[in-house]
Chain A
């Protein structure tokens, strides 16, 4: 990639050997999976479904779409929950066949890996772990022979997500608390523009200057792309185009939800993995103590990788799942809850924590670290005698499945409720607020919801002050009420300097909340930037803004 400085390049487009599925009814009947995402929003009226295998194919599709005036929706792993990959009419472009690992280069103790967008995260993890990348060269030899193992830090829960999709949405995971979101680990990308040309970006080469990005163009006049220029919340944030004075152009595309171009490959950073992990779950009898624990853990010298919250409602659901699964359940017996018959009014709150041991540290350092967690739990009002600890791989894996069981359990209940009324869906918030407002936001959620009859749970990335309130309506009236509450929570988060979406993005389902965060002029600015790169508005119509 070093051969090509950031700029726009010509591509010889062709369609030789590309899979194309033609016809609305055939796509609806045989490829219905491609019409929906994890939000269970179904698209319709898709006329053609493309399976490009290389950049030339993608370029061909956009050129044809321009000629014929067709819309294009980009489809990755469809693990999103805001319908960003769901198409309403037009053409659908699945990147699943573009999953090659292209190059590896070594960079002072870490590596940079160039990968096509269609590789799933789970596949990436396996290939990096087993050191089988299917490529050759001196960097590859260094990679294989290294005494260290390497890691791509972003860890979204949905590991069937495709890498390109996680970049287009700036995805996060539990360890985002320590490592930051996807944005931080992307150093290059190639994007097919709606002109059919290829934009190659290398981080560090093109930055905002006097309100514009200037991009050179092979054999033509450079493009001047305006810079958004508004202020974005300083929390974990994934809503609208990124903006920061002096920003790199690559950051405009990361999290852009496909509205600016089709990301066909990305160059990501692999860093040395910790040599050991400590995990645990602190249990507390009041929500205040749990929040205190989080604040103390953030301020201490523990450097947690992750801090994740479970309120009483969440723990009760997990305990139900444990009982249904029986003795083979991965979920351990939950203190204060398991074994109690009437536990509807129980107060138990839990915080999952995780920290790492790094190369060069001694066994004693790990022991000291566990002792610090023990003291922290105690100091915050919890009980280390019932709180879980995990230092073996087995226990760390069990805690992982403990955490991942909750969203699955909620989805099962929603699926049951949906049978009573198909309009019902989960209403899950995704707001984050600045550190100083964590307690206030938690109190606001609790006070508001305690006055409602609606079933709900609160869990999620409390380290980033980013909790998911999941409301589980069992009637259409409750659904409408949940949506109203969602709006209230979003307005409260914005009033505290927070964001309406910290990781799920806007897509087609959360457009109205963008207007809570940005003024009309600011949203117009996003549209102007899109207009420069996609003047006819053919790309991913409906994402972020109303379609024309």
Chain B
């Protein structure tokens, strides 16, 4: 019995996703890529940085680049609030921060629950969407952080 259950779990693993909100929609990122969540603190702009870089923060002595997630997703800009958070993530062997409207919770999703949707995007940002999942009476948009930037952009950030 336990062997069967083990096979089932291997075939349909349960993944944990940290959910955050942007422009009244819920997004999810793989919990394994999230290092920590910070309250909003002043972000120092970097002269000459690409537009999708908001600036840098000092995280316990380490410099972390913060990405403008709204700009990256093609969403309108918004003011920061008490709920605004900087999610420190690791992707492409780099540690960066992404600015989000709020962090909600950690949800458990089976692999089989994740569905792909037809990508009818004309913009590059459409490729960030890994899939969608119906959870808590709303659709959760799962983001592929590895595709958040191109190889050139990851390299560019590394050089900041």
Do A and B come together as binding partners?
no
Q: Chain A interface (Cβ within 8 Å of chain B)?
A: none
